[in-house]
A and B are shown apart, each in its own frame.
Chain A
Amino acid sequence: MSYKIAIASSDSENINETFGSAKSFVIYEVSDGVCKKSEERICTTEEKVTKNNCNSKVCGNSDGCGSSCGGYGEPSAKVEIISDCRAVVCKKIGFHIRKQLERKAISAFDVSCTIDEALDKITFYYNRIDRHESLRK
């Protein structure tokens, strides 16, 4: 089984961009446990920072509103361009974007480490769970 992982990095070595600040995503393709860099996707449109699109007076929870209004902000163009990925790795990620990714079944990992380390750990994890094996090392 093959899948893609999107990485937010400005130097192609470390995960050093937040989801919001990333100007591009490096896409790695993992096929039969082998991980290869496949392409870079540039984010063309500037992201507007919209917390959510609900009327704060109605839902009474203007920041990161939860279950009451059901909206998690404008659909992000960035989420769209990585919508075929299984996971996205970046330094930090906001709550409303995380929710949008969740709806598309994309896992979000906010970590600060090298790309190699992150890819090693994530592919190890997916390899095991795809084969229904325990994560015990």
Chain B
Amino acid sequence: MAKLLDKQRYKCALGAMQTVQAITRAIPVLHSGPGCAQKLSDSIGSSGYFSPNIFPCTSINEKDVVFGGVKKLDTTISNALKVIDADLYVVLTGCIPEIVGDDTGEVISRYQDAEKPVIYASTAGFKGNNYKGHEQVIDAIIDQYLEKADEKEKGLVNIWADVPYQDLFWLGNIRELENLISELGLIPNTIFGYQRGISNIERIPKAEFNLLVSPWVSVGNMKKMEKKLGIPYLHYPTLPIGAYETSKFLREVGKFARVDEQKVESIINEHEKYYYYLIERYADMFLETRVMAKQFSVVADAQYALGITKFLVNDLGLVPAKQFITDDTPKAFQEQIKAEFENLNYGLKAEVNFETDSYKIHNEIQSHDYHGYPLILGSYYEKEITEDMFGHFLNISWPVQDKVVLDDFYVGYTGGIRLIEDIYSVAVQRWN
């Protein structure tokens, strides 16, 4: 029987327009119905250069379904090139043109000699969600724009993380990853956010290696770059939050990039000293609140579910209840991710559920004995149920409705401290 899925936790592949939006001065050109972009646009900040309300769109209707929308696409692209001053035009196709068989690739090929690059990504909703759409956009850049570089730039590393805007902390996270990589003496290169853009995209082929920090998103992109551009990659599946994981992360990247071991250790030592100084100062508070939340559940996409579970167990010594991964992780990656959840300190293992159905997730949370007040880190949908259980709730995954994040982040040593602040701010409110 057909299933109705309410409380969606991701969008359709066309949501990848947010990925394009995150590249400064890149603009999505939508080949879709007029309502698609409207429904997909979030109010969580624009690129700073283009408002999402001006994205060129073919606004296809019944006539285009019957007679084909190719002509309209052609005029939309040529006019976009005339009136919008962008560095990169990314045509994204919705479901309708893909079903009726518009040959978007053929239309794009007419713009090979255009002044600005025009590329396209197939982002029909039936092909997957916006995590997949994000991969499609990066694939499009690799396939249609990048060429193998003759020589490499010493120390240059491309950093890739999870999906911009879908991940609330994307900007802060990627900047902090850049900072950590810089400390190792490497040169980070990222394409998303402020003062990044086409020039960073052009630098991609010169990198010595790609660093992917994500459980599964973009693994395909890394393989593609390895094949086409000859860039090897390091896949670090856990988002490093807090001292334990971040130190491990730095050691692993250092080893891969052949950074002097002593240098890595001294960087780690410096960071850890300050990190544990902060923890120590508040040790009393951690002990007192321990009584209040012994067990926790994370309801988020794979990167936060894994990153936060590891952080709360390894750094804070909390006990994991069941964890829920809600990003529709492809089957091929599930076993690998599960294994990561079983690789926690103190011999602990966390049970993990790949589930997109909120009804089932909520049932499981409600029926679990958290031995006290539960700590739930999830999307806004988990707020009500946590309140019903008198638990502590923190909104960390999409949709986010009770918090504004400009460039806050949870990555690294500082990110771990931020997460502690956020969690314990919720906890101490119970007393005051």
Query: Which among B63, B66, B67, B100 has the greatest number of chain A C-beta atoms within 10 A?
Result: B66
Contact A135:B62 (CB < 8 A) given known A109-B67, A111-B67, A121-B67: no
Question: Is there a chain A Cβ closer than 8 Å to B4's Cβ?
Answer: no
A interface majority secondary structure:
mixed
Quick one: which of A107, A109, A118, A135 contacts B99, CB cutoff 8 A? A135
Question: Is there a chain A Cβ closer than 8 Å to B34's Cβ?
Answer: no
Closest chain B residue to A110 by CB distance?
B63
Complex CA–CA separation, A135 to B66 (angstroms): 9
Question: Is there a chain A Cβ closer than 8 Å to B372's Cβ?
Answer: no
**Pairs across A and B, CB under 8 Å, 11 listed:** A108-B63, A109-B62, A109-B66, A111-B63, A111-B67, A122-B66, A135-B65, A135-B100, A136-B99, A136-B100, A137-B101
Range of interface residues on chain B?
Answer: under 10
Quick one: which of A121, A122, A136 contacts B101, CB cutoff 8 A? A136
Closest 5 CB pairs of A and B: A125-B66, A109-B63, A135-B100, A121-B66, A135-B99
Q: Contact at A134–B65, with CB atoms within 8 Å?
A: no
Count of residues in A whose CB is under 8 Å from the partner chain: 14
Complex CA–CA separation, A137 to B98 (angstroms): 11
Which residues from chain B contact A134 at a C-beta distance below 8 Å?
A: 99
Inter-chain contact count A-B, CB under 8 Å? 24
* 0 or 1 for each of A106-120: is its CB under 8 Å from B? (1 = yes): 011111010000100
Interface residues of A in 86-131 (CB under 8 A from B): 107-111, 113, 118, 121-122, 125
Other A-B pairs beyond A134-B99, A135-B100, 7, CB < 8 Å: A109-B62, A109-B66, A111-B67, A121-B66, A122-B66, A136-B99, A136-B101
Which residues from chain A contact B67 at a C-beta distance below 8 Å?
A: 109, 111, 113, 118, 121
Q: How far is the CB of A105 from chain B (nearest CB, A)?
A: 12
Complex CA–CA separation, A14 to B112 (angstroms): 35
Interface residues of B in 165-203 (CB under 8 A from A): none
Q: How far is the CB of A53 from chain B (nearest CB, A)?
A: 26
Which residues from chain A contact B100 at a C-beta distance below 8 Å?
A: 135-136
Complex CA–CA separation, A113 to B66 (angstroms): 13
* 0 or 1 for each of B32-68: is its CB under 8 Å from A? (1 = yes): 0000000000000000000000000000001101110
Closest chain B residue to A122 by CB distance?
B66
Which residues from chain A contact B63 at a C-beta distance below 8 Å?
A: 108-111
Closest chain B residue to A118 by CB distance?
B67
Which residues from chain B contact A122 at a C-beta distance below 8 Å?
A: 66
Quick one: which of A107, A113, A136, A137 contacts B62, CB cutoff 8 A? A107
Which residues from chain A contact B62 at a C-beta distance below 8 Å?
A: 107, 109
Which residues from chain A contact B65 at a C-beta distance below 8 Å?
A: 125, 135
Which residues from chain B contact A125 at a C-beta distance below 8 Å?
A: 65-66
Interface residues of A in 41-86 (CB under 8 A from B): none
Complex CA–CA separation, A122 to B67 (angstroms): 8
